[in-house]
Structure 1
């Protein structure tokens, strides 16, 4: 199955790497930017921290960690002129008392390392050696994508979040540090790493939102063992449904069309693992494509599901 350069860019996370201060479009809340946040585990990257209106150090706030941070707030700086509008959407929900007061920690992706940072490492390493070699060799022959540009290193990416970034955020901002108030969210490959984060660190993350989760891992469905490997991993590693919430969704157009036959297999794993409507949601959005515009239009649903006050 072949896809346009646009769809390849959407999955690979091609972006404008403007490091200037966030453009003052209709900003809601306030932002603090940390450029080149140093890590012992992964490449340095920008982190934007969004604080809701009226942020008060005398109060404590839940924290939502979000991937692909450069795509979340300001369409004037994104590669495709789109954004998630996280600030507007979350502030409105807070003002309407539909969700708890929450800080957003937006981690910029690493550009060409995005796929390697976000691809769940343990499922990848569980693939047969010849399959791993084939995936890497095939990807590196295709100059249109940055798939497997480096070794899969999502375990290090999660260590960065849990061991370096979260302690910084908790020490510099007024946060609720417990699992019940710590969440993770992303789309496409960001959906995969959000699923992986809650499975690998169930003591840290109480909920995950996985939008347009890219279950194929690459661009093919036929003869692709990756989706089944993800299902097997989840069957063995999903956190306790009594203490965690997980959200999935998908559209029906462009790259999202691939997910319609794969998400039901994941849903069956959720049921087998004891999840029900109280702690798990999967939504299908007819006509939605694989874009920030689509994720923006439905972001309020996972936010209310995870952060409902």
Structure 2
């Protein structure tokens, strides 16, 4: 793992997303599946950021009436599969041992195995019946950052195929523009965000359930790169599980906007003068706010907002080197 290479990987996000959008404009990477919303029976498997993205994708599909679940590949309680089941195994490296082990445990049940991976010829690609490439390019920093974003985009393409909606190519293009905007204006927003978000007692991050992956991925980036304490939470659940630390710690909260449960957060953070960073939404009590191109579109947020804390993590990591 290398902090400078990680930062360079982040800087490639706009160009890689633009390339992905061009592909999705003309191709459906999921066309070999031949399933419909009515017949689909999906099991998404992965670890870490792969699972974060898969969990949001599965919830979105269920909300559209598609049978879909996301499970940690390491679970001993994997769903029963058989003919008609599509197992989507997600691993950027294609070598996640837990994901490969899950496929071994599933065995020859007649399920179709799809490998969503970023590495051609990987062990996962060899095991899969169908391979869907992430097209994120090599991540030389050793951190799954672009591949996380591309996993979400590819799973949105699966959603589009199943519910008959248009290709997500325009959305991916908009995410490229949003990422470019954040990168271009980094000197304007990053110092204040870093000062407010990185506290002596760690960083807490909250996002709406439909974008919970943003909080999880952002926390992972702080832990994986600069090795800082960080934890992700769902905004509505925050008042049930995370509120307690606002009373007796130097609590730092990064809020990804758009939750209908924001009042439950402000009920406790306003009177306690909690230090808050607001991403994608204006909040009068925020110590720092980050707005970016396209941040009023919820799906652009989903594909773009994690870059804020990825960049914070990268610069902090570089400063430690």
The two structures have a TM-score, normalised by structure 2, of 0.33
The structure with the larger Rg is 2
Which has the larger share of helix? Answer: 2
The two structures have a TM-score, normalised by structure 1, of 0.34
